Amino acid sequence: MQRDYVARRIVATESRNLSMAGRAGIRTFGLTLLGHSLSQYRKNASASIANLSMAEVIRALMNAHTMNRFHHWYCRSSVWKRRIETELMPWALNGATLLEPALEIGPGPGITTEYLRARVQSLTALERDALLANKLRQRFSRTNVRVIEGDATAMPFENGSFRAVFCFTMLHHLPSAALQDRLVAEAFRVLAPGGVFLGTDSRMSLRMKLFHWFDTMVIVDPQTFPMRLRRAGFTDGRVELSESAFRFCARR
């Protein structure tokens, strides 16, 4: 499921011979990209919350499973769609060769899927939520997108089925680091030799904490993530940081 991301100053990093602490493998080589503020997001969020009583806010937040209702609303908003199209995806895919067939894990409302399908001819979207999966099937019927309902920690695909696996801002939504590692291991399994695992996730911030009130949030440490990729079998794992997120790319 998609998550919030705002790019301001991008600092690119590359993993090289990680130490046990996982820090020696991150090298900064200074890339400036995308100078956008949070002002528009704050205006929209403040206006929405101002119209609710505290009791309504609490009920809305608690009446959810793994995402609270405000989070659901934001992930379908025009603000988030615009940031996906103009900031997150251009940054995430910058410099990447998009191989096919491709798999997207946890597409949520399908905003990133829409972006991807215009750039790859064969795309499979794996969504665990049955309601979301059904909506995605309807949305992408008669297109180049195949929607499968399934668990990313136990994917219903044969070994080596894909040449690219994408995962955008959803890893922190898995309820434990162990399940995150299972997803990474499954991404490795379903990739063909030479295939690429590519994605993004959010870093810890006050905004993330507010968005995930009564919500699942297990933050991925970008400093140790290259080591976790290597443990799953990936090579050439790279991580690049922004102020509020990181992107990663690794090869099978």
How confident is residue 63, by pLDDT bands cut at 50, 70 and 90?
A: very low
CA angle 92, 145, 170 (to 5 degrees): 40
The H-assigned helical ranges of the chain are 39-50, 54-62, 69-75, 78-83, 89-93, 111-117, 130-139, 177-190, 206-211, 225-232
Q: Which residue has the higher pLDDT, 7 or 45?
A: 45
Give the residue, 30 or 251, on which the prediction is more confident: 251
pLDDT at 88: 86
Tens digits of per-residue pLDDT, 107-165? Answer: 988 999 999 999 999 999 999 999 999 999 999 999 999 999 999 999 999 999 999 99
Burial of 233 (0-12, 13-18, 19+ CB in 10 A): middle
Q: Please report the pLDDT score of residue 172 as a whole number.
A: 86
Of 227 and 88, the structure prediction assigns the larger pLDDT to 227
pTM of the model: 0.70
Q: Parallel, antiparallel, or unpaired for β 145-149 and 123-127?
A: parallel
Helices 225-232 and 177-190 sit at what angle, rounded to 10 degrees? Answer: 50
Instruction: Decide: 232 and 2 in contact? Cβ < 8 Å.
Output: no
Residue 87 pLDDT: 86
Average pLDDT over residues 55-68: 45
pLDDT average, residue stretch 201-219: 69
Q: What is the pLDDT of residue 214?
A: 62
CATH 3.40.50.150, domain 10-251, yes or no: yes
